Amino acid sequence: MDISLIIPCFNEEVNIQKGVLDKIGNYTAIRDDVIEVLISDDGSSDSTKKIIREKYLNQFKKFRLIENQHHGKAFSLISAIKEAKGNFVLFTDMDLATPLEEIEKLISQAKKGSTIIIGSRNNARQGAPILRKIMARGFIIVRDLFIGLQGIKDSQCGFKMFKRELALKIIDRLIVFKRERDVVGSSVGAGFDLEFLFIAGKLGNKIKEVPVHWRHVETKNVNFLTDSFETLNDILKIKLYELRNKYQF
């Protein structure tokens, strides 16, 4: 199994200063199955790219920096999937809210034949503010009402693993996230996870959900109210396109 580890990145200077890339680099350096670490930058406007280029690309030989224009997290993920060399791609967020060691749980399922494995917080969002927990449960109700997703408990955990060949097949069928978006500030693109998993399910793929450890990490890149509104809008678009038979299943 060859794995391309993908890390979306936007103005991550603070997290980098905390040593997250050192942790990622040291962990992946001793793993033969992780053949590359793709840091996919979403047009950062701080010193993120400069620090990565000058300090980390030479230090960790598996690191590659993909520099994108600023179109949101979803498109930084898509660009990295297209450039990945592994037969599996695995996403994790820069803040390492889910410890890298949890990779073992996803790999175990892939070795059993699963082609889509997603980490799940299973509603146990340790350290998250109570308002976010309440809104997250409301989101699940709305999501299930409109697009279902095979009874998945947590579609938004940023810790997912896919067979790359299948991921490319799904990307070709995206509609809501088919074209790059003009965004201002950070855009977590939560609707991308939904459309991706929605199409995967409609194509007949079984989505394996695996409980993982997770802790809340406060970040300026998440505006819960703005992101929730954006995601709700994307859910409605997915449903509308489905009703119009626009998807190729």
User: What CATH number is attached to the domain comprising 202?
Assistant: 3.90.550.10
Q: Among residues of the chain, what percentage have pLDDT more than 90?
A: 71
Distance of CA 224 to the CA centre of its chain: 17
**Residue 176 structure tokens:** 């809501």
How many domains, in total, are found in the chain? 1
Does residue 40 lie within any of the structural domains? Answer: yes
Domain that holds residue 77: 3-243
Q: What is the mean pLDDT of residues 166-185?
A: 90
Q: What is the mean pLDDT of residues 207-228?
A: 77
Assess if residue 151 is contained within a domain.
yes
List, for residues 60-74, the tens digit of each pLDDT value. Answer: 999 999 999 999 999
d(CA 44, CA 12): 8
- Residue 135 confidence (pLDDT): 63
pTM of the model: 0.89
Contact between 100 and 192 under an 8 Å Cβ cutoff? The reply is no
Q: Which of 6, 27, 144, 21 is nearest to 82 (CA)?
A: 6
Predicted pLDDT at 95: 92
Decide if 248 is inside a domain. Answer: no
- Cβ burial of 39 (10 Å; 0-12, 13-18, 19+) is buried
Please determine, for residue 7, whether its predicted confidence score (pLDDT) is greater than 60: yes
pLDDT tens digits for 115-172? 999 999 865 556 556 666 666 676 778 888 899 887 888 988 889 999 999 999 999 9
Q: Whole-angstrom Cα distance, residue 167 to residue 81?
A: 8
249 occurs within a structural domain: no
